[in-house]
Amino acid sequence: MTLDECRQEIDLLDRQIVALLNDRAKVVEVIGALKQQAQMRVYEPKREDAVYANITAVNQGPLKAEAVKRIYERIIDEMRTLQRDRMAATQEAGQEKDSSS
């Protein structure tokens, strides 16, 4: 493989990774709505432990388990921000609806 071919391959992989990250974000939004209905907290340390256990179990390298975990800390953090933003937006919309009715 030449350097250019490697980079084309990376760009292709990145497109798939970004698509999967967004698929994950969509499911996280559904979870956010379900949690809001059930009045559950966004942050659930036990569930996050389960996520880390899953990614560590399936990791076959060359990335080390700690490297994958550090990447996932960022992913989970961004997903939590998205979930909080959406919950806040829904609540605000609900309040506006209440006050206008």
Q: Are 36 and 90 in contact (CB under 8 A)?
A: yes
Tell me how many residues contact a copy of itself (CB under 8 A): 53
54 or 95: whose CB is closer to a copy of itself? 54
Query: Alpha-carbon distance 91 to 85, whole Å?
Result: 10
Residue 82 sits in the site that holds a copy of itself (CB under 8 A): yes
Contact with a copy of itself (CB under 8 A): which of 45, 61, 97, 98? 61
Phi-psi region of 72 (alpha: psi -120 to 50; beta: other; left: phi over 0): alpha
Closest separation between CB of residue 101 and a copy of itself, Å? 28
Interface with a copy of itself, residue 101, by CB under 8 A:
no
